Structure 1
């Protein structure tokens, strides 16, 4: 993902949410609408979340240290996970609490009745521009993936987070407009509470989705299948390597992939030639997948008989485990 694209989307969302939060809170003070209060807190939480994403991006650029030899790239995942927690607690749970309170003690909107409608329509317009910016920046890196696949598989968390937040904000504004509108039409404050509850459920659902996806990134994800295939072709596309014995990949951060592989090489007594061959293979890997910046290649002599015995041992161990489970 383009880091600049992610930053642009975050800044656009931050500016929109700060302005929206101020207008929503003024509307709440004038009308006492619970939907407006829930949306005010929602926008404040979103503004804080965008600040967290910007902070995570800045801290992730720190140089590697002896204590953190692979750098701080994963800080972007940590701050994205914190965002999901903030959205769940400050946004979702607060809205559900406010909905319960207003349902128990419904209050019609009796003063400044036109204010919440005007504010919500203006907020929808501003949020639409923010959402459009996130879509445009995401399309630069999304390729042919569906939106669901992009959110689930993106290694850089900022754009998926902003996309889901902006989508949630737009839908939440529609819910708030529904609750406020029905309250104004019927004079029954329970419609306002219902709109607030819908906002709370929406925010909790989005927070759970974000938490699940960022948890996977924090645990460590390997390269996508097409990148793995490209790396394998780069390794074996030359006389230096006979075969890949085994290989593992791991994202150290959104823009840094580690590749570790044991490779079968022809028998050779010349260590200088072996070193040059490994350097050549590493250069091919970096050309094929530029994000592969940390590469460890272990040369070995492939022995089919030894590999067969190792496979048989693994198979036997698996059979024993199955038998133990069946007998337990």
Structure 2
């Protein structure tokens, strides 16, 4: 998934969340609704989060240097983890806190019509942002389930926005139900309870995002299909006797490190080994352009000690 697709999804989310946050805060000030204030905080945090994802994309595109010879691709994974922490600490924490305060000191909503109008607009704009994120995510899904596709994805920007927008839509529905029940039964506790539920929703989403970001930061391999295809490419080369190990690690959404340990056929000269390594590198890079760094450890049967030809 290209960075342009990621940016498209993020810009759509920023526009929607910023407009929604402003209208929610206005409505919360007019109506004294706890759930509406929580939703305003939620949308503001989402806006900040999308800006951090843009920062992550920009930082991850810095060229490699002496201190970071493999580049800065994992910057994106780091900022995605920060986003998850903000969702949990600020979005979920503030919503939960606001709900508790409202239960301790309940205050009735003064004009629920404002809330209904704002929530209606918010659902429309969040739905638009969610649709954009879903359209960008679906091409990478294939025949996998949504959860399998998210677990397999190495680009956290798309599924982060998709999770945020899904939580936002669910939170809006909870806020709408809470305000409706308070208006119907004239019971301000419904508003506080809905705010707490919104906080729990955000907390769950934050934990899921943090878990996925941690996996990417620690270092995840390329998908099984890619690894198997690399093994097949190597096995079809006439100089290869056996493929011993295929080690891969994602350094970014479109950047993979490959270490390939191969046992070559006996009686190959050093020149034959060098030509075979070059041939393999060219085939792998042609069919898998995301593999930016290739190290081939060549072992010849004719030499029990083996020959190591690390290449990059």
- TM-score, normalisation: structure 2: 0.95
Report the alpha carbon displacement of residue 288 of structure 1 after superposing the two structures with TM.
Answer: 3.0
Q: Is the 8 A contact 2:112 2:179 kept in 1?
A: no
Q: Is the 8 A contact 1:231 1:288 kept in 2?
A: no
Q: Which residue of 1 aligns with 2:112?
A: 113
Q: Which residue of 1 aligns with 2:310?
A: none
Secondary structure in 2 aligned to 1:108? Answer: coil
The more displaced of 79-88 and 271-280 is 271-280
Structure 2: how far apart are the matches of 1:52 and 1:116? 29
Structure 2: how far apart are the matches of 1:135 and 1:172? 18
Q: Which residue of 2 aligns with 1:158?
A: 157
Matched, 1:26 2:26: yes
Residues 124-154 of structure 1, C-alpha deviation per residue, up to 9 Å, x if partnerless? 0110000000011111222222111112221
Matched, 1:216 2:215: yes
Report the alpha carbon displacement of residue 80 of structure 1 after superposing the two structures with TM.
Answer: 0.3
- TM-score, normalisation: structure 1: 0.90
Identify if the C-alpha distance between structure 1 residues 266 and 102 changes in structure 2 by more than 3 Å, giving closer, same or farther: same
Unpaired segments of 5 or more residues in structure 1? 307-328
Secondary structure in 1 aligned to 2:261? Answer: strand
Report the alpha carbon displacement of residue 292 of structure 1 after superposing the two structures with TM.
Answer: 1.4
Identify if the C-alpha distance between structure 1 residues 33 and 275 changes in structure 2 by more than 3 Å, giving closer, same or farther: same
Secondary structure in 2 aligned to 1:223? Answer: coil
Report the alpha carbon displacement of residue 268 of structure 1 after superposing the two structures with TM.
Answer: 4.1
Structure 2: how far apart are the matches of 1:76 and 1:252? 10
Q: Which residue of 1 aligns with 2:192?
A: 193
Q: Which residue of 2 aligns with 1:228?
A: 227
Secondary structure in 2 aligned to 1:145? Answer: coil
Structure 1: how far apart are the matches of 2:282 and 2:267? 21
Q: Is the 8 A contact 2:85 2:210 kept in 1?
A: yes
Q: Is the 8 A contact 1:16 1:130 kept in 2?
A: yes
Q: Which residue of 2 aligns with 1:170?
A: 169
Structure 1: how far apart are the matches of 2:121 and 2:246? 53
Q: Is the 8 A contact 2:249 2:256 kept in 1?
A: yes
Q: Which residue of 2 aligns with 1:46?
A: 46
Identify if the C-alpha distance between structure 1 residues 2 and 141 changes in structure 2 by more than 3 Å, giving closer, same or farther: farther
Q: Which residue of 2 aligns with 1:320?
A: none
Secondary structure in 2 aligned to 1:267? Answer: coil
Structure 2: how far apart are the matches of 1:231 and 1:98? 53
Q: Which residue of 2 aligns with 1:237?
A: 236
Q: CA RMSD in A?
A: 1.7
Report the alpha carbon displacement of residue 202 of structure 1 after superposing the two structures with TM.
Answer: 0.2
Q: Which residue of 1 aligns with 2:93?
A: 93
Q: Which residue of 2 aligns with 1:323?
A: none
Secondary structure in 2 aligned to 1:242? Answer: strand
Q: Is the 8 A contact 1:240 1:278 kept in 2?
A: no
Secondary structure in 1 aligned to 2:187? Answer: coil
Report the alpha carbon displacement of residue 101 of structure 1 after superposing the two structures with TM.
Answer: 0.5
Residues 44-83 of structure 1, C-alpha deviation per residue, up to 9 Å, x if partnerless? 0000000000000001110101000000000000000000
- Alignment length (residue pairs): 306
Q: Is the 8 A contact 1:2 1:141 kept in 2?
A: no
Q: Is the 8 A contact 1:220 1:251 kept in 2?
A: yes
Identify if the C-alpha distance between structure 1 residues 224 and 302 changes in structure 2 by more than 3 Å, giving closer, same or farther: farther
